[in-house]
Amino acid sequence: MDEIELIDRCKKQDSSAQKFLYNKYSGLLLGICSRYSKSLSDAEDILQEGFLKIFLNIKYFAAIGSFEGWLKKIMVNTAITHYHKNLKHQYHYDIEDIKEISIETNEFEEIEFSKEELFETIQSLPDGYKMVFNLYAVEGYKHKEIAEMMSIDINTSKSQYSRAKKIIQTKLLELKQKKYVKLQKRY
């Protein structure tokens, strides 16, 4: 089944096509959701909600631009809605006191960190920062777009991003130091 046929059949609410679409994209889309949520079960909630939106709105997909991009955008938007819904209940963050160290550099050697380690650094961010960091750094949205999507001020987006980046840099640095110690002990 090629993409056009798949979309066409999904528009007709063909359940086997829906299952096919789900199987094809659920992994990738859960990867996105997981970055925006605290736990895997939260991510799966977002995934489920997002897929329902996809199936109910696929008739409006106009085939302008990539289908995958459209799917991703829906997931990201669902994640934002989810975040806003839960905002009220979450006040406390468990970040260590990292205020003492400030870092100037932007650069790290990528080779040093595994995907899991990078994922953990994102997961460790406070919720609001996590949203903005994901949207800006990973999804590549502009601050103006983020401000509109999250209905926050553009300056909030900017300041949150820079704070998030600071936290991430600190975490990476700590990680790097730990690794060197391990490396040193081995020899």
Partner 1 sequence: MSNFKKDIENFYQDAFNNYELKPSDKVWGNIEKELMKKSFFKFNPKKINIYYTVIIVLLTVGLSSAFLLNKKTDTKFSAQIFDVTSVINNSRNTISENQIQASNDKVIASNHTIFKEEVVEKNNLISTNSEIFTTEIEQVNNDLLQKSEINNTKIIFGISDAVNVNITNEKADTISKFAEQKNVKFGLSDCKGCAPFKVVFDSKIQNIGLAKWDFGDGNISTEINPEHIYNTHGKYVVCVEYLVNGEKSKFFDTVYVNETPVAKFDVSNSNLQKKEIVEFVNYSQNATIYNWDFGDNTINTEFEPEHSYIQAGKFTIKLKVTNSANCSDSSSKELEIKEEKYQIVFPTAFTPNISGSNGGTYSLTNVNNDVFYPVIAKGVEEYNLTIYNRKGIIIFTTDDIKIGWDGYFNNQLVSPEVYVYAVKGKYFNGEEFLVTGNVTLFY
Interface residue list for partner 1 (CB under 8 A): 13, 15, 18-19, 22, 26-28, 30-32, 34-35, 40, 43-44, 47-48, 51-52, 55-56, 87, 91-97, 99-111, 115, 118-119, 122, 126, 128, 136-138, 140, 151-153, 155-156, 159-160, 163, 165, 168-169, 173, 177, 180-181, 184-185
Q: Which is nearer to partner 1, 27 or 62 (CB)?
A: 27
Q: In angstroms, what is the minimal distance from the CB of 3 to partner 1?
A: 17
- Cα–Cα distances (Å) from 81 to 7, 30, 66, 84, 145, in that order, read 25, 16, 23, 5, 15
Q: In angstroms, what is the minimal distance from the CB of 63 to partner 1?
A: 22
Q: Which is nearer to partner 1, 64 or 184 (CB)?
A: 184
Q: Which is nearer to partner 1, 4 or 180 (CB)?
A: 180
Q: In angstroms, what is the minimal distance from the CB of 149 to partner 1?
A: 13
Q: Counting Cβ atoms within 10 Å, is residue 141 exposed (0-12), middle (13-18) or buried (19+)? A: buried
Q: Which is nearer to partner 1, 2 or 182 (CB)?
A: 182
Residue 22 near residue 68, CB atoms below 8 Å: no
How is residue 91 written in tokens? 């006040």
Q: In angstroms, what is the minimal distance from the CB of 128 to partner 1?
A: 6
Burial profile 41-77: b = 16 or more Cβ within 10 angstroms, e = fewer: ebbeebbebbbebbbeebeebeeeeebeebbbebbbe
Q: Which is nearer to partner 1, 43 or 71 (CB)?
A: 43
Other C-beta atoms within 10 Å of 122: how many? 19
Q: CA-to-CA distance for 3 and 12, rounded, in angstroms?
A: 14
